[in-house]
Amino acid sequence: MKGIRPSRWGGQLLHARSCPATIPRRNFLASTVRCQSTVPAPAAEDLIEQIPEEGETLPRKLPSPLPERALQSAKLAALHSRLSLSKKIPLQTLARALVTPSADPNSSFNNANLAFLGSTIINYHVAEYITCKWPRLPMAIHYEALRAFSGPESLAQISRRWGVEAAAAPGEEVDPGLLQWASNSSALVGTRWGGYVRAETDRKHSFYRRGMSSRVVLDNDFGDAVDAGSVKDAHQHHQDTSFSSFVQAVVGAIYSHSGREAAKDFVESHILSRQVDLSSLFEFQLPTRELAMLCAREGFEPPLARLESETGRHSRTPVYVVGIYSGKEKLGEGNAPSLDFARRKACMNALKSWYLYSPGNKVRVPSDMMEEGAKPWKAPHIDIGEVI
Amino acid sequence: MTVKALRAIPSGGKNGLGAFILQCKKLEFHYCDWAGSSKGMNGFIKSLLPKFAAANPQVEFSISPRPGKHPVITGHYINGRTKPICVRNLSPYEILEKLELLRDASGEKLKRANKAVTSTKPSVRGIWSPYHGKGMIV
Amino acid sequence: MDVRTLSRPATQLLKTTRQTTLLPLTTSRGHKTTARTKRALKIAPHDSFLPNRSQPFPAADHIIYNPPASEASPEHTPFIFLPPNDPRREAIQRMRLSSPEALGSVAGASPPESDADLPPAMSYPRRRAHYNLTEDDMAEMRRLRNEDPLTWSTNALSKKFNCSPIIVSIAAPAPAEHKKWLEDKAERRRERWGPIKTQAREDRGRRAEMLYRGEI
């Protein structure tokens, strides 16, 4: 085994008070035997005196490994180093980031708080990047782009690429360097953070319109309706949320120990660097009508399809290349084996080139202004909204 | 609202673009105290391994005896594959070379790369089409 | 193949234009390795990729510009879609004024002078707003439609009032019983279709959906 030098990880981050004071509604049996910190809290003795007599009976098996065991785990030290985390982030915090609420429902020992903090930071940075880089994206595409960068499936993929392994079953005895989650746990894996449960969810058969505005107001960060259950593949969903909560908790830990800039750099290098093809996210319904409406709204001449070239009109496999023009300016073109399809495809390409307008590859985002000595803010391009 | 969104999860990031993650996550050492073929391995574990382990904190090291067998080093990789190398009768410095090979490997099967560039990005110039451009006079 | 390889430098010395191709282009097979095949198939770069040799010294600054012979990607924003404060807009306008031919056929290329230079327009039903109907026309349209919906169909009314059938269907919708009769008629017609025609119709709808999702 590799030698671990505890002196290197000397920063005892969790100078929190010992548990009885912090967890009001937990059973004392589970909470008194373990403490977040090896440093005794000043008022600990007074508190222990208040514990009822049952506290002296034999302790039960703990749901997750003790925090002080983090210093002995080679896996954890290797993971810390593999992610190039700063020395300021102690191993105990990383160990806590690996304990999901489904393994340990005690919020003083699981990663729920760190993951919530991390998810807000990740979603903020991804959303501001998408908004500044593609200012004309429709809201539905914006949500899916956000999901492609920082949705639970994507974050779970990232954590697997970091080499995170799950323990077969969570418990006190497992290595603290393994992710602890249980698929059969009654505890909610991903606690519902954003959004509200809609009033109509319990009325099964009634039809309610779920428009974009209500998705923005009522639903969660990715525009999905918040309701427990009714997940298609529950096991897969639990697994993804557990793995993704580790990534979120790591970002939360970086934010709390190393600060805002470090967290932003981490999000940029691990999450925003992924390759997402936005042009594959579009599904059109009436592209020709939408393009005509767009041209009318923007004051361009109405679009007209022109046949640029063709071959094999009387054969089994013809090819038509159709361009869409507004006046004399070309908006887009498409090719297909029929004139109608080629025209619709050209309209779709023209609309995509409208929606995927980008001011440049290196856009400034609002959080760049928090750096010291930042240049004065220049307002980014703000679009008037999608074509209705 | 006529545009709907499709759900697409990106197939994966490129390691080294943005952040680099060393793909070797664990190195296992097996040795024998008695056998002659483990002589170099035993010397390696005593003299060179502490320094190597200190220089590579990203990797988990585990050493265990395996009496009566040849010494073996096994690399475990993030993609789930393993690479075992038998290091019988090798000198400590030869073992160090093997170890560096295991540490730097990606864990993938070896493939012949006969293209200078392999990319998942679409070509900048697009796919050639006979209906576009002015045509090259050949 | 050997003849071709040998003769190429000689021809290029004689003529700067690409006359090498008058030689027969035969497919060459039988090279033992990939490297040899590649080397044998290597041809000289196109003239547009060669540096500018118009003046011997000092060498002129020269940008090689060779637009791709491929469909434009939607990542390239067309000129009129650029917002007014985008720097690309000014750059393209400047280029259009100074050197119109340099832009070639890319997204920002200068438009042709007249409509005659554009490709031929396609004929398909499209929105042409006239705004020629008055209140009286609408009332007349509604009266005719209610009197005899069979004679005064949507198409007949749109021809009479010189407007689009969609306007007619909004301004003067048919009576409910006539709509029902039309639907029944269409239904009876659909019932007469055989399996092949039904299948073909379904496939056409499915293809359109795939097209809208960008799958074909």
| B79: in domain | yes
Question: Could you tell me which residue, A152 or A186, shows the higher pLDDT?
Answer: A152
What's the one-letter identity of residue A352? Answer: K
**Is residue A294 within 8 Å of C78, Cβ to Cβ?**
no
Where in the sequence is the domain holding A244, given as residue range(s)?
19-192+228-279
Contact A328 C211 (CB under 8 A): no
Q: What does the domain layout of chain C look like in residue ranges?
A: 2-49
Q: What is the pLDDT of residues A264-285, one digit of tens each?
A: 999 999 999 999 999 999 999 9
What is the number of structural domains in chain B?
Answer: 1
Give chain B positions within 8 Å (CB) of A386. 1, 3
- Of the partner residues A325, A339, A352, the one whose CB lies closest to the CB of residue C118: A325
Q: Does C215 touch chain A (CB under 8 A)?
A: no
pLDDT confidence of residue A204? 65
Residues 75-94 on C with a CB inside 8 Å of A are 75-83, 85-86
Kindly state whether residues A147 and A242 are assigned to the same domain.
Answer: yes
pLDDT confidence of residue A187? 55
Kindly state whether residues A330 and A253 are assigned to the same domain.
Answer: no
| B13: in domain | no
User: Does the bond joining C58 to the residue before it have cis omega, within 30 degrees of 0?
Assistant: yes
Lowest mean per-residue pLDDT among A164-173, C17-26, C36-45: C17-26
| B131: in domain | no
Kindly state whether residues A63 and A128 are assigned to the same domain.
Answer: yes
| A288 vs C166: CA distance, rounded Å | 16
| A110 vs A96: CA distance, rounded Å | 6
| C8 vs C1: CA distance, rounded Å | 11
| A12: in domain | no
pLDDT confidence of residue B138? 54
pLDDT confidence of residue C98? 80
pLDDT confidence of residue C149? 93
Rounded to the nearest angstrom, the minimum Cα separation between C18 and chain B is 7
Where in the sequence is the domain holding B70, given as residue range(s)?
24-104
Task: Return contacts of A262-266, CB within 8 angstroms, 24+ apart.
Answer: A262/A86, A263/A121, A264/A121, A264/A125, A264/A367
Nearest one of A142, A122, A367 to A261, comparing CA atoms: A367
Rounded to the nearest angstrom, the minimum Cα separation between B125 and chain C is 5
Contact A74 B61 (CB under 8 A): yes
Give chain A positions within 8 Å (CB) of B10. 148, 154, 274-277
Beta bridge partners of B97: none
Helix (H) or strand (E) holding B75: strand B72-77
Contact A381 C85 (CB under 8 A): yes
How sure is the predictor about A377, in pLDDT bands with cuts at 50, 70 and 90? very high
pLDDT confidence of residue C37? 86
Kindly state whether residues A158 and A274 are assigned to the same domain.
Answer: yes
| C190 vs A343: CA distance, rounded Å | 28
Q: Does B1 touch chain A (CB under 8 A)?
A: yes
Cα Rg of chain A, angstroms: 27
pLDDT confidence of residue A59? 61
Lowest mean per-residue pLDDT among C82-91, C92-101, C188-197: C92-101
User: Residue A360, by phi and psi: left (phi above 0), alpha (psi -120 to 50) or beta?
Assistant: left
Tokens at A256, concatenated: 């709390």
pLDDT confidence of residue C110? 66
How sure is the predictor about C106, in pLDDT bands with cuts at 50, 70 and 90? low
| B31: in domain | yes
Rounded to the nearest angstrom, the minimum Cα separation between A309 and chain C is 8
| C214 vs A219: CA distance, rounded Å | 28
Q: Hey, of A141, A317, A329, which one would you mutate to test binding to chain C, going by the most C CBs within 10 A of its CB?
A: A329
pLDDT confidence of residue A388? 79
Rounded to the nearest angstrom, the minimum Cα separation between C21 and chain B is 6
Predicted confidence (pLDDT) at residue C31 exceeds the cutoff of 90: no
Residues 143-182 on A with a CB inside 8 Å of B are 143-144, 147-148, 151, 153-154, 157-158, 160-163
What's the one-letter identity of residue B3? Answer: V
Q: What is the ipTM score, two decimals?
A: 0.94
- Of the partner residues C74, C120, C211, the one whose CB lies closest to the CB of residue A341: C211
pLDDT confidence of residue A32? 47
| B86: in domain | yes
pLDDT confidence of residue B131? 85
Kindly state whether residues A112 and A239 are assigned to the same domain.
Answer: yes
Give chain C positions within 8 Å (CB) of A285. 212
The CATH number of residue A242's host domain is: 1.10.1520.10
Predicted confidence (pLDDT) at residue B81 exceeds the cutoff of 50: yes
pLDDT confidence of residue A14? 39
Which chains reach chain C with 3 or more Cβ–Cβ distances below 8 angstroms?
A, B
Strand B24-31 to B60-65 pairing:
parallel
Percent of chain B scoring above 90 in pLDDT: 72
Q: Hey, of C65, C71, C209, C213, which one would you mutate to test binding to chain B, going by the most B CBs within 10 A of its CB?
A: C71
pLDDT confidence of residue C15? 46
pLDDT confidence of residue A219? 87
State pTM to two decimals.
0.84
Rounded to the nearest angstrom, the minimum Cα separation between C71 and chain B is 7
| B123: in domain | no
Q: Report residue C122: phi and psi, to 5°.
A: -90, 155
Predicted confidence (pLDDT) at residue A363 exceeds the cutoff of 70: yes
Predicted confidence (pLDDT) at residue A366 exceeds the cutoff of 80: yes
Kindly state whether residues A69 and A138 are assigned to the same domain.
Answer: yes
What is the number of structural domains in chain A?
Answer: 3
| B111: in domain | no
Kindly state whether residues A71 and A119 are assigned to the same domain.
Answer: yes
The CATH number of residue A342's host domain is: 3.30.160.20
Q: Which residue's structure tokens are 């020992």?
A: A109
Q: What is the pLDDT of residues A283-307, one digit of tens each?
A: 999 999 999 999 999 999 999 999 9
Mean pLDDT across chain A, nearest whole number?
A: 84
Average pLDDT over residues B57-67: 97
Kindly state whether residues A186 and A301 are assigned to the same domain.
Answer: no
| B129: in domain | no
Give chain C positions within 8 Å (CB) of A336. 211, 216
| A8: in domain | no
Nearest one of A48, A103, A99 to A70, comparing CA atoms: A99
Q: What is the pLDDT of residues C140-159, one digit of tens each?
A: 999 999 999 999 999 999 99
The CATH number of residue B61's host domain is: 3.40.30.10
Average pLDDT over residues A225-252: 85
pLDDT confidence of residue B36? 94
- Of the partner residues B8, B50, B58, the one whose CB lies closest to the CB of residue A281: B8
Q: What is the pLDDT of residues A180-196, one digit of tens each?
A: 999 876 655 445 567 88
Rounded to the nearest angstrom, the minimum Cα separation between A311 and chain B is 9
Lowest mean per-residue pLDDT among A8-17, A243-252, B88-97, C184-193: A8-17
Predicted confidence (pLDDT) at residue A72 exceeds the cutoff of 90: yes
Predicted confidence (pLDDT) at residue B1 exceeds the cutoff of 90: no
